[in-house]
Amino acid sequence: MSDPTNLSATEIKVQDLATLVAGLNRFLMRLSNMPAFQEAGLGLAEWSALSLIAGKGDINNRQLANALGVSPQRINQITDTLRGSGLVSASASADDARKKIINITQLGSARLTELDAKLQAKISLILRKRPGVLRRANTIVNKTLMRLVAPVQTKEMKDAKSRPDA
Protein backbone atom coordinates (compact mmCIF):
# COMPACT_ATOMS: atom_id res chain seq x y z
CA MET A 1 0.00 0.00 0.00
CA SER A 2 1.37 3.40 -0.91
CA ASP A 3 1.79 6.28 1.48
CA PRO A 4 -0.98 8.82 0.69
CA THR A 5 1.42 11.71 1.37
CA ASN A 6 3.78 10.46 -1.37
CA LEU A 7 1.28 10.17 -4.22
CA SER A 8 2.55 11.39 -7.55
CA ALA A 9 0.38 13.70 -9.65
CA THR A 10 -0.69 10.76 -11.82
CA GLU A 11 -1.60 8.33 -9.05
CA ILE A 12 -5.31 8.04 -8.49
CA LYS A 13 -6.93 6.52 -5.43
CA VAL A 14 -10.31 4.92 -6.02
CA GLN A 15 -11.15 5.67 -2.38
CA ASP A 16 -11.09 9.36 -3.33
CA LEU A 17 -13.92 8.69 -5.78
CA ALA A 18 -15.92 6.92 -3.06
CA THR A 19 -15.31 9.86 -0.73
CA LEU A 20 -16.44 12.29 -3.45
CA VAL A 21 -19.63 10.30 -4.09
CA ALA A 22 -20.41 10.11 -0.37
CA GLY A 23 -19.77 13.83 0.04
CA LEU A 24 -21.96 14.72 -2.93
CA ASN A 25 -24.72 12.49 -1.60
CA ARG A 26 -24.59 14.22 1.81
CA PHE A 27 -24.54 17.60 0.09
CA LEU A 28 -27.59 16.78 -2.04
CA MET A 29 -29.56 15.46 0.92
CA ARG A 30 -28.83 18.58 2.95
CA LEU A 31 -29.49 20.84 -0.03
CA SER A 32 -32.93 19.34 -0.54
CA ASN A 33 -33.75 19.94 3.14
CA MET A 34 -33.05 23.67 2.93
CA PRO A 35 -36.01 25.93 3.67
CA ALA A 36 -35.83 27.36 0.14
CA PHE A 37 -36.79 23.96 -1.31
CA GLN A 38 -39.53 23.44 1.24
CA GLU A 39 -40.94 26.94 0.58
CA ALA A 40 -40.94 26.22 -3.16
CA GLY A 41 -42.66 22.87 -2.60
CA LEU A 42 -39.99 21.12 -4.66
CA GLY A 43 -37.74 18.20 -4.00
CA LEU A 44 -34.30 17.86 -5.47
CA ALA A 45 -35.49 15.62 -8.34
CA GLU A 46 -38.29 18.01 -9.27
CA TRP A 47 -35.96 21.03 -9.10
CA SER A 48 -33.38 19.28 -11.29
CA ALA A 49 -36.01 18.29 -13.83
CA LEU A 50 -37.62 21.72 -13.83
CA SER A 51 -34.21 23.36 -14.31
CA LEU A 52 -33.45 21.12 -17.30
CA ILE A 53 -36.87 21.69 -18.84
CA ALA A 54 -36.48 25.46 -18.44
CA GLY A 55 -32.98 25.39 -19.90
CA LYS A 56 -33.62 23.13 -22.88
CA GLY A 57 -37.10 24.22 -23.92
CA ASP A 58 -39.06 21.44 -25.60
CA ILE A 59 -37.90 18.15 -24.13
CA ASN A 60 -39.47 14.71 -24.01
CA ASN A 61 -39.45 12.19 -21.18
CA ARG A 62 -36.68 10.07 -22.69
CA GLN A 63 -34.36 13.06 -23.10
CA LEU A 64 -35.14 14.16 -19.56
CA ALA A 65 -34.49 10.66 -18.19
CA ASN A 66 -31.14 10.51 -20.01
CA ALA A 67 -30.12 13.97 -18.80
CA LEU A 68 -30.95 13.14 -15.17
CA GLY A 69 -29.70 9.57 -15.33
CA VAL A 70 -32.93 8.04 -14.03
CA SER A 71 -35.38 5.50 -15.34
CA PRO A 72 -38.30 6.43 -17.60
CA GLN A 73 -40.65 5.33 -14.81
CA ARG A 74 -39.02 7.78 -12.38
CA ILE A 75 -39.29 10.58 -14.94
CA ASN A 76 -42.99 9.81 -15.33
CA GLN A 77 -43.40 10.18 -11.56
CA ILE A 78 -41.47 13.45 -11.52
CA THR A 79 -43.31 14.96 -14.48
CA ASP A 80 -46.67 13.81 -13.11
CA THR A 81 -45.86 15.61 -9.85
CA LEU A 82 -44.77 18.74 -11.72
CA ARG A 83 -47.88 18.65 -13.94
CA GLY A 84 -50.10 18.13 -10.90
CA SER A 85 -48.59 21.26 -9.35
CA GLY A 86 -49.09 23.22 -12.56
CA LEU A 87 -45.34 23.73 -13.03
CA VAL A 88 -45.07 21.97 -16.42
CA SER A 89 -47.38 21.05 -19.25
CA ALA A 90 -47.16 18.17 -21.69
CA SER A 91 -48.32 18.04 -25.29
CA ALA A 92 -48.05 15.52 -28.10
CA SER A 93 -44.96 15.81 -30.26
CA ALA A 94 -45.52 17.01 -33.82
CA ASP A 95 -43.19 14.22 -35.02
CA ASP A 96 -44.62 11.36 -32.96
CA ALA A 97 -47.94 11.58 -31.10
CA ARG A 98 -46.74 8.88 -28.69
CA LYS A 99 -44.04 11.22 -27.38
CA LYS A 100 -44.98 13.96 -24.96
CA ILE A 101 -43.14 17.27 -25.13
CA ILE A 102 -42.72 18.84 -21.72
CA ASN A 103 -42.66 22.60 -21.26
CA ILE A 104 -42.36 24.77 -18.18
CA THR A 105 -45.41 26.89 -17.33
CA GLN A 106 -45.37 30.50 -16.17
CA LEU A 107 -45.97 29.27 -12.61
CA GLY A 108 -43.11 26.79 -12.96
CA SER A 109 -40.80 29.46 -14.31
CA ALA A 110 -41.70 31.83 -11.47
CA ARG A 111 -41.21 29.12 -8.82
CA LEU A 112 -37.88 28.08 -10.33
CA THR A 113 -36.66 31.70 -10.58
CA GLU A 114 -37.57 32.32 -6.93
CA LEU A 115 -35.83 29.15 -5.69
CA ASP A 116 -32.78 29.76 -7.88
CA ALA A 117 -32.46 33.32 -6.57
CA LYS A 118 -32.43 32.06 -2.98
CA LEU A 119 -29.87 29.40 -3.83
CA GLN A 120 -27.76 31.88 -5.84
CA ALA A 121 -27.50 34.20 -2.84
CA LYS A 122 -26.31 31.39 -0.57
CA ILE A 123 -23.95 29.87 -3.14
CA SER A 124 -22.43 33.27 -3.98
CA LEU A 125 -21.81 34.01 -0.32
CA ILE A 126 -20.08 30.68 0.26
CA LEU A 127 -18.09 30.58 -3.00
CA ARG A 128 -17.32 34.30 -3.35
CA LYS A 129 -13.57 33.71 -3.29
CA ARG A 130 -13.73 30.77 -5.71
CA PRO A 131 -15.20 31.97 -8.99
CA GLY A 132 -15.72 29.23 -11.54
CA VAL A 133 -15.45 26.38 -9.04
CA LEU A 134 -18.89 24.98 -9.93
CA ARG A 135 -18.14 25.15 -13.65
CA ARG A 136 -14.84 23.33 -13.14
CA ALA A 137 -16.50 20.71 -10.91
CA ASN A 138 -19.18 20.20 -13.56
CA THR A 139 -16.49 19.65 -16.19
CA ILE A 140 -14.66 17.16 -14.02
CA VAL A 141 -17.78 15.14 -13.19
CA ASN A 142 -19.77 15.39 -16.41
CA LYS A 143 -17.04 15.36 -19.02
CA THR A 144 -14.16 13.54 -17.39
CA LEU A 145 -15.57 11.06 -14.89
CA MET A 146 -18.60 10.19 -17.05
CA ARG A 147 -16.16 8.50 -19.44
CA LEU A 148 -15.76 5.87 -16.74
CA VAL A 149 -19.43 4.84 -16.90
CA ALA A 150 -20.35 5.80 -20.47
CA PRO A 151 -19.27 2.43 -21.99
CA VAL A 152 -21.30 0.61 -19.31
CA GLN A 153 -24.41 2.69 -20.01
CA THR A 154 -24.04 2.18 -23.75
CA LYS A 155 -23.68 -1.59 -23.32
CA GLU A 156 -26.69 -1.75 -20.97
CA MET A 157 -28.81 0.23 -23.44
CA LYS A 158 -27.80 -2.06 -26.33
CA ASP A 159 -28.49 -5.15 -24.20
CA ALA A 160 -31.92 -3.82 -23.21
CA LYS A 161 -32.85 -3.09 -26.83
CA SER A 162 -31.79 -6.55 -27.97
CA ARG A 163 -33.94 -8.39 -25.39
CA PRO A 164 -37.19 -9.74 -26.83
CA ASP A 165 -39.20 -8.36 -23.87
CA ALA A 166 -37.86 -4.81 -24.36
| Domain edges within the chain | 13-126, 130-160
**Domain 13-126 class in CATH:** mainly alpha
- pLDDT tens, the chain, 166 aa long: 455 555 565 677 888 888 888 988 898 899 889 999 999 999 999 999 999 999 987 899 899 999 998 999 999 999 999 999 999 999 888 888 888 899 999 999 999 999 999 998 888 888 887 878 888 888 888 788 778 777 665 555 566 566 555 4
| Model pLDDT, residue 127 | 82
User: Looking at the whole model, is its pTM more than 0.85?
Assistant: no
Provide CB contacts within 8 A for 118, sequence distance 6+.
36, 39
Nearest to 18 by CA among 132, 136, 148: 148
Q: Which amino acid is at 129?
A: K
